[in-house]
């Protein structure tokens, strides 16, 4: 699926060519839809383009680059797809037009709602599998409910027995169990709650069911399933601390090969603030998100010109790259607004996030 990113004044757009007779996209242009990103058609140099307004929206792949998907978020994603199927039927749209790739599923940062792209033209037919693999790789492994749901989706996607229109089968099973406690994560319950699970018939039934699920998951992990090969005991033997150490080791494994800036403490990169009200910031873990929403960012910028999740800095092979997260006021490098998806930054570059300015050192 060929897509470009463009900025017009204070709006950000995902742009794709329109090669159809226009009926389905015309339905979305002319009718309000619940769950789809608004579209506008633009004729440019003899070509019709579809502009999807992604201002203030964060893609699923970027949003879960660092944090894990919990059960509620998994449910939101699957229920949202189920609701889109109903919306397609209401507007006489082909369900296959729902784009399921994580890079093109968005969350509105102001409302927390999931929003989707409708593009009813030829593209990869394995999007459901791509979504299932993404969810499997980013789930909270300490939560049995979300692990069970992710593996069930992955299994059915691999078999080709699940599509957008029959996701309700998984959702129906989840609905029956969503209010039951997660007995595997025992640190979240008091000892007396465990005693009640052991003595009450309902608790026993659920505990046995979870044990069956865990056994099934371990059997699945032993098999070769596509290109995904989870490490042995990945889900239950790793502590949160050890996972963070492994992640940090992976991200920094090439630091001794390429040193970007020879500062006294080794390889530390910093953003030096040019505003007395904003402190300097160390770039310690990548990807590093900058913005004004405390619980979602790594570097908090308390300025009214900064969006909730404004920009992100990534590291690859010793180089740093910055890209704008569809902010309202834009991200600038040396006075030039970032137009494409990412921009390499080096020591001495001035970076402006809204009205907040830094120099990379």
Q: What does DSSP say about strands 356-360 and 269-273: parallel, antiparallel, or unpaired?
A: antiparallel
Q: Are 260 and 267 in contact (CB under 8 A)?
A: yes
Q: How many angstroms separate the first and last alpha carbons of the chain? A: 38
- pLDDT at position 9 is 65
Mean pLDDT (10-residue bins), the chain, 361 residues: 74 83 82 88 86 87 84 91 91 91 88 90 80 93 90 90 81 58 40 39 43 51 46 46 49 42 56 91 87 87 91 87 88 88 90 95 91
Q: Are 307 and 109 in contact (CB under 8 A)?
A: yes
- The DSSP output letter for 36 is B
Q: How far is CA 36 from the centre of its chain?
A: 17
Residue entry with tokens 């004729």: 43
- pLDDT at position 205 is 41
- pLDDT at position 87 is 92
- pLDDT at position 215 is 52
- pLDDT at position 320 is 92
The angle subtended at Cα 208 by Cα 203 and Cα 210, nearest 5°, is: 95
- pLDDT at position 85 is 92
Alpha carbons 139 and 147: distance in angstroms, whole number: 7
Question: Hey, which bits of 185-280 come out as E strands?
Answer: 269-273
Q: What is the dihedral of CA 6, 11, 14, 20, to 10 degrees?
A: -100
Q: Are 313 and 301 in contact (CB under 8 A)?
A: no
Among candidates 123, 80, 85, which has minimal Cα distance to 105? 80
Peptide bond into 208 cis (omega under 30): no
Residue entry with tokens 């900058």: 290
Among candidates 97, 108, 104, 82, which has minimal Cα distance to 25? 97
């Amino acid at each position: 699926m060929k897509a470009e990113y463009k900025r017009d004044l204070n709006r950000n757009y995902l742009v794709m060519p329109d090669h159809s007779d226009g009926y389905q996209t015309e339905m979305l242009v002319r009718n309000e839809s619940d769950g789809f990103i608004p579209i506008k058609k633009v004729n440019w140099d003899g070509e019709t383009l579809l502009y999807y307004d992604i201002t203030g929206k964060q893609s699923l792949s970027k949003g879960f680059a660092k944090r894990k998907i919990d059960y509620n978020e998994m449910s939101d994603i699957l229920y949202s797809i189920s609701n889109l199927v109903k919306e397609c039927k209401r507007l006489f749209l082909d369900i296959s037009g729902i784009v399921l790739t994580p890079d093109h599923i968005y969350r509105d940062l102001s409302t927390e709602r999931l929003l989707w792209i409708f593009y009813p033209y030829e593209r990869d037919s394995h999007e459901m599998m791509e979504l299932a693999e993404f969810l499997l790789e980013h789930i909270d492994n300490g939560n049995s409910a979300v692990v069970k749901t992710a593996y069930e989706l992955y299994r059915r996607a691999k078999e080709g027995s699940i599509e957008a229109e029959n996701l309700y089968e998984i959702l129906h099973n989840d609905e029956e169990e969503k209010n039951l406690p997660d007995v595997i994560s025992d640190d979240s319950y008091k000892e007396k709650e465990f005693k009640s699970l052991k003595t009450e018939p309902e608790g026993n039934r659920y505990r046995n069911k979870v044990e069956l699920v865990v056994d099934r998951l371990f059997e699945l992990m032993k098999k070769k399933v596509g290109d995904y090969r989870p490490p042995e005991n990945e889900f239950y033997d790793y502590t949160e601390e050890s996972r963070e150490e492994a992640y940090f080791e992976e991200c920094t494994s090439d630091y001794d090969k390429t040193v970007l800036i020879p500062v006294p403490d080794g390889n530390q990169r910093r953003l030096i603030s040019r505003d007395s009200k904003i402190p300097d910031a160390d770039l310690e873990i990548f990807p590093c998100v900058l913005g004004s929403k405390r619980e979602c960012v790594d570097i908090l910028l308390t300025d009214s010109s900064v969006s909730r999740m404004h920009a992100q800095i990534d590291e690859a092979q010793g180089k740093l790259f910055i890209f704008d997260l569809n902010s309202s006021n834009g991200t600038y490098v040396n006075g030039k607004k970032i137009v494409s998806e990412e921009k390499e930054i080096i020591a001495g570059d001035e970076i402006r996030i809204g009205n907040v300015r830094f120099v990379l050192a």
